[in-house]
Structure 1
Amino acid sequence: MVLPALMLFVAVVLIPLAMTVLLSFNDWGQYKGIEQVFILKNWREIWEDDYFLEMFLRTFRIAVLATLITALLGAPEAYILNRMQGRWKGFFLLVILGPLLISVVARTLGWALLFGGANGVVNKALMSLGVIGAPIPFMFTETGVVVALAHVMMPFMVLSVWAALQRVDPQIENAAMSLGAGHATILRRIVLPQIMPGILSGAIIVFSLSASAFATPSIIGGRRLKVAATLAYDEFLNTLNWPLGAAVAVLLLVALVLIVVGSNALIERRYAEVFR
Structure 2
Amino acid sequence: MAKIVAGVGSSHVPLLGVAVDQGKWQDDYFGPIFQGYEWTRQWEKESPPDVVILVYNDHASAFDANIIPTFAIGCGERYKPADEGWGPRPVPDVEGHADLAWHIAQSLILDDFDMTIINEMDVDHGLTVPLSMMFGQPDKWPVKVVPLAVNVVTYPVPSGNRCWALGEAIARAVESFPEDLKVQIWGTGGMSHQLQGPRAGLLNREWDNKFLDLLESDTDAARHIPHIEYLRETGSEGIEMVMWLIMRGALGKRVKRLNRHYHIPCSNTAIGHIVLEPAD
TM-score by length of 1: 0.24
Q: Which has the higher helix share?
A: 1
Q: Which has the higher strand share?
A: 2
Higher Rg: 1
Higher relative contact order at CA 8 Å, sep ≥6: structure 1 or structure 2? Answer: 2
